[in-house]
């Protein structure tokens, strides 16, 4: 007889939500089921399902209370009742981070909707889900994460890893042009430097990416100037005073 924990893992790999549900019904203690094998990194069932992009399995696990806290992690609740401390693996990564790194947009959207607070959580390297999506060039995932981020895009874009690298640094380092445009349009600071005093532009993976980034930055600055000029003109032209003509006698 195959061990129940292994059967559950196989069901997740096969994206068989019905089988996974049956196993968990008989063995509810396996809800988290961290993988303690040498290569397992203590990934829970949700980590595995999210990394594979298996939405039905992710929904099942969350509905059964997977993100309600595990034996390895303390748990607190948001105002809406969702956990602010999701299951973490040995690198303190969330399932959302793994889904974002793999570009599984449906899973990313589900997990963001379920627990927005997990978007800003960072792993042992200081990386969050947005950085992972930017690093691997998953533009749609980046947009979803920015949309759901607590505190808005400004809070998400302000985060940096332990070396001071932002999501923009990661996108530039891999030459992910679409992500660069999305991040800059959202307000990413192209002049921000990491602890090595390097900007995202200095991290450009290719000459093409560097030229593209410079062009985007110039475009953003031009739009800011145009907008500022329009606002100043609107303020200055709100009231127009006409001096009387002395020669006309009026």
Tens digit of pLDDT for each residue in 46-69?
A: 999 999 999 999 999 999 999 974
Note whether residue 17 is domain-resident.
Answer: yes
Phi, psi of 114 (to 5 degrees): -70, -45
Predicted TM-score (pTM) of the model is 0.84
Note whether residue 55 is domain-resident.
Answer: yes
Three-class DSSP category at 179 = helix
Q: What is the pLDDT of residue 232?
A: 74
Residues in the chain, pLDDT under 50: 69-83, 241, 250
Q: What is the pLDDT of residue 68?
A: 78
Q: What is the pLDDT of residue 99?
A: 98
d(CA 197, CA 99): 31
Note whether residue 223 is domain-resident.
Answer: no
How many domains does the chain contain in total?
A: 1
Cα distances (angstroms) measured from residue 44 to each of 8, 41, 90, 108: 11, 9, 10, 17
d(CA 50, CA 48): 6
Given a contact cutoff of 8 angstroms between Cβ atoms, the answer to whether 127 and 118 are in contact is no
Q: What is the pLDDT of residue 30?
A: 98
Instruction: Print the domain residue range for 48.
Output: 1-68
Looking up residue 3, the CATH number of its domain turns out to be: 1.25.40.20
Given a contact cutoff of 8 angstroms between Cβ atoms, the answer to whether 51 and 102 are in contact is yes
Note whether residue 53 is domain-resident.
Answer: yes
Note whether residue 242 is domain-resident.
Answer: no
Note whether residue 174 is domain-resident.
Answer: no
Note whether residue 15 is domain-resident.
Answer: yes
Note whether residue 228 is domain-resident.
Answer: no
């Amino acid at each position: 007889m195959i061990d129940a924990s292994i059967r559950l893992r196989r069901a997740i790999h096969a994206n068989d939500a019905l089988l996974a549900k049956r196993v968990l019904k008989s063995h509810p203690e396996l809800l988290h089921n961290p993988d303690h094998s040498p290569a397992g990194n203590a990934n829970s069932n949700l980590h595995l399902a999210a990394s594979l992009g298996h939405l039905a399995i992710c929904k099942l696990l969350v509905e059964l209370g997977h993100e309600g806290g595990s034996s390895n992690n303390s748990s607190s609740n948001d105002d809406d009742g969702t956990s602010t401390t999701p299951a973490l693996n040995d690198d303190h990564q969330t399932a959302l981070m793994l889904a974002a790194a793999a570009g599984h947009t449906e899973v990313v959207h589900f997990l963001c909707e379920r627990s927005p607070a997990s978007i800003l959580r960072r792993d042992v390297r200081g990386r969050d889900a947005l950085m992972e999506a930017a690093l691997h060039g998953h533009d749609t995932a980046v947009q979803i994460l920015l949309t759901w981020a607590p505190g808005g895009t400004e809070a998400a874009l302000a985060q940096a890893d332990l070396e001071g690298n932002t999501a923009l640094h990661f996108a530039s380092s891999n030459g992910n042009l679409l992500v660069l445009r999305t991040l800059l349009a959202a307000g990413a600071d192209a002049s921000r430097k990491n602890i090595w005093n390097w900007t995202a532009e200095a991290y450009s993976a290719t000459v093409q990416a560097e030229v593209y980034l410079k062009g985007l930055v110039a475009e953003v600055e031009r739009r800011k100037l145009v907008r500022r000029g329009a606002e100043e003109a609107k303020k200055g032209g709100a009231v127009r005073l006409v001096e009387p003509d002395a020669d006309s006698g009026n």
